A and B are shown apart, each in its own frame.
Chain A
Amino acid sequence: MNTKTALSSKKTIEFREVSFRINDILKRLIVLGVSLEIPQGETLVLLGRSGSGKTTLLKLINGMLLPSNGEVLVDGRSTAAWDPIRLRRSIGYVIQDAGLFPHFTVAENIGLVPSLEKWDRCRTAVRVGELLTLVGLDPAEFAGRHPRELSGGQRQRVGVARALAADPPILLMDEPFGALDPVTRAELQREFSALARRLSKTIVFVTHDLHEALLLASRIVLLESGRIVASAPPQEFLRLDHPEVRAFTASLAVTPGASP
C-alpha cells in the first residue's frame, strides 16, 4: 500500500511553538505558541469553547492551514515541506456535517480516496464492504444509496468509513457527532470508542463536549483563546485546578433526573 508510510518515530504529530494568525486586516491570532506532542496510537481530544482554536489546530495538522510561526511535524516532517496532496491522503478527516458528496453513492463516497490512489475496482469494492460492516451498516442495503437517503447518524457512519478507506495512520475528527440527536450521538460515541481501541490509529478529536471527551480520550487537551491551558488523561483531568477546567466540569453537573 503506497499511502501507508511506515511510522519512523513515536511522535506521529508534533506542534513546535505554533502560532496561527488569520491573514486579513485584523490579523487576529487564533493559535498562540502551542507546543504539543501526539504519540502514535493516542486518542487526543482537543476540548474548548467555540473560537478557542480547536479546529484551527486540526487544520494545521493536514496542511489545510500552515502555521504563521513555528512548525507542525507529521511523521517527523514539517507540514510546509510535505506535498499537501500526499499528506492529506494519509490522514483521514471527518467533519460535523459529514460533507459527503451528494452526487456519489455511499460506495463511491467511501471509495473516493482509493480511486484517487488508483486502486483497482475489485479491491476498492472489497474495502468498501469491509468498512460499511465495520461502521455497522449492511453493505447490501447501503452501498448503492445516495447521502440524501440516509439519516444523520448513518451519514456520519459513512463519513467515518470514508475517512478510514485508505487505512490512514492518522484520523482527524472535527465534532463529528455534534449535529446528531442525543440518543444517536451516545450510540455513535460508544461504538466509535470501541472502534478506536481496535484500530490503534492516532486520533485527534475536536469537541466542546466534556462528556464526549471523557468517554473517548486517552488524553484531553484543553484550549482557551488559542492556548493550551491543561493537558491530562481523563481520570486526572477532572481534578485539575484551573478556572477553565472548572467551567467545563460545571457543565457536566446535572440536575437529578436529567440524562447523564
Chain B
Amino acid sequence: MNPQTTWSFFAEHRAEIFGATIDHLTLVIIAMMIAILIGVPLGMFIVQRPTLRTIALGIASVFQTIPSLALFGFLIPIPFIGGIGKRTAIVALVLYALLPILRNTYVGLTGIDPAVLEAAEAMGMTRAQILFRVRFPLALAVILAGIRTATIITIGVATIAAAIGAGGLGTFIFQGVALVSDTLILAGAIPAALLALLADFLLGLLERRLKVS
C-alpha cells in the first residue's frame, strides 16, 4: 500500500466517499431512531413486570449473539421486512441496537436511590408522576449511555449492510476485499471509524450534561 496513491484516491473520489458516508449515516440514524422509539418505552414498561422483563431482555440478548452477516442473511427471505436493500438492513440494525438501549433503560430506572423513591411515594406522587418526574430524569444519563453504545455498534455493523445491497461505506470495503485493494478498504473504514469517534464524542458530551450526582 502506497500512502500517496491512497491519498490521491481519496482526493479523486471524495464526492463518492462523501455520498457513501451520508448514506451510511442515514441508515444509522433511521435505525437508531426506531430502536430508541421501541427500546426506551419498552424498558419503561418492563420495569415493574419481572416476567416480561426476562423475556424481553432474553430475546434482545439472543439477537446480539447472532453474527451480523448471518442476521442479514436470515432476513433476506422474510416477507415485508426482508429482501435486498435498505429496509432489511435497517431491521437488522434495529435488532442489534435494541439490547443496549433496553438494558440501560431498565438499569437506569431501577438503579435509583431507594430513599428518593420512598420520599416520592410518601409525598403522594402517583405512579406515573414518579416514573416521569423522578425515575426517568434520574435515569436519563444511563439511558443515553446505552444509546451511545448502540450508536457505535450500529455504525460498525452498518458497514456489513452493503452485503445485502443497502449501500453505505461497506460498499468500498466489500469491493476492496474482492479486489485486494487496501486503498478501497480504507476508503470505507476510515470514514466509518471517524463517524464512530464523532458520535461517541458528541453523545458523551450530552451524557455528561445530563448526569445528576
Q: Decide if A103 touches B138 in the complex (CB within 8 Å).
A: yes
**Nearest CB in chain B to that of A159: its residue:** B119
In Å, the complex CA distance between A172 and B123 comes to 11
Stretch at the interface among B47-55, B124-132, B194-202: B124-132
A202 shortest CB reach to chain B, Å: 16
Q: Decide if A85 touches B124 in the complex (CB within 8 Å).
A: yes
* Given contacts A86-B124, A87-B124, A116-B124, A99 and B213 within 8 Å (CB-CB): no
A-B contact count (CB 8 A): 61
In Å, the complex CA distance between A109 and B71 comes to 49
**Nearest CB in chain A to that of B210: its residue:** A103
Q: Decide if A93 touches B115 in the complex (CB within 8 Å).
A: no
In Å, the complex CA distance between A172 and B144 comes to 37
Q: Decide if B124 touches A95 in the complex (CB within 8 Å).
A: no
In Å, the complex CA distance between A88 and B119 comes to 11
Interface string of B6-32 (1 = CB under 8 A from A): 000000000000000000000000000
Q: Decide if B115 touches A88 in the complex (CB within 8 Å).
A: no
* Count of residues in B whose CB is under 8 Å from the partner chain: 18
A146 shortest CB reach to chain B, Å: 8
Top 3 A-B pairs, shortest CB-CB distance: A99-B119, A88-B124, A89-B124
Q: Which residues of B contact A113 (CB under 8 A)?
A: 123-124
Q: Decide if A99 touches B115 in the complex (CB within 8 Å).
A: yes
A215 at the interface (CB under 8 A from B): no
**Nearest CB in chain A to that of B129: its residue:** A116
In Å, the complex CA distance between A93 and B138 comes to 21
Q: Which residues of A contact B121 (CB under 8 A)?
A: 64, 88
**Nearest CB in chain A to that of B123: its residue:** A113
Question: Hey, which bits of chain A sit against chain B, CB under 8 A?
Answer: 62, 64, 84-89, 91, 93, 95-103, 112-113, 116, 146, 148, 162, 172
In Å, the complex CA distance between A40 and B36 comes to 52
In Å, the complex CA distance between A24 and B27 comes to 50
Q: Which of A96, A98, A112 contacts B123 (CB 8 A)?
A: A112
Q: Which residues of A contact B204 (CB under 8 A)?
A: none
In Å, the complex CA distance between A149 and B125 comes to 25
**Nearest CB in chain A to that of B127: its residue:** A85
Q: Which residues of B contact A85 (CB under 8 A)?
A: 124-126
**Nearest CB in chain A to that of B122: its residue:** A93
* Given contacts A93-B119, A116-B129, A148-B213, A99 and B113 within 8 Å (CB-CB): yes
Q: Decide if B134 touches A101 in the complex (CB within 8 Å).
A: yes
Q: Which residues of B contact A148 (CB under 8 A)?
A: 213
B120 at the interface (CB under 8 A from A): yes
B111 shortest CB reach to chain A, Å: 13
B212 at the interface (CB under 8 A from A): yes
Q: Decide if B116 touches A88 in the complex (CB within 8 Å).
A: no
Interface string of B101-142 (1 = CB under 8 A from A): 000000000000101101111111110010000100110000
